[in-house]
Amino acid sequence: LAGDLANEVDININVVGGGVMGQAEAARMVIAKGLVQWSQDMDLKEKFIQYDRTMLVGDPRRSEPKKYGGPGARARKQKSYR
């Protein structure tokens, strides 16, 4: 998407934590954000947003923490009245 602009810069990324796909998404996002910030090109920003919004905007969803009374965040032990 960036074309010749991506060839003008050297990119080195270190990612720690998460899984393989999470790290790939994080690297993809930081490359896109870095190219937009470095070039100050609003057309490039619009191209990235048109292609895939998650390249510039992160996904805020996180896993819900486990709570007492069941095996997971929402699942509960089955109640029996007899």
- The predicted-structure confidence for 40-77, as pLDDT tens digits, reads as follows 888 888 888 888 888 888 888 889 999 998 999 999 98
Q: Which of 26, 50, 48, 28 is nearest to 39 (CA)?
A: 48
Q: What domain range includes position 46?
A: 15-55
The pLDDT tens digits for 22-31 are 899 999 999 9
Is residue 34, in this structure, part of any structural domain at all? yes
Is residue 43, in this structure, part of any structural domain at all? yes
Residue 54: per-residue pLDDT: 83
Residue 60: per-residue pLDDT: 86
| Cα torsion through 28, 38, 45, 22, rounded to 10 | 10
pTM of the model: 0.69
Number of compact structural domains in the chain = 1
Interior CA angle at 59 toward 2 and 37, to 5°?
Answer: 35
Is residue 68, in this structure, part of any structural domain at all? no
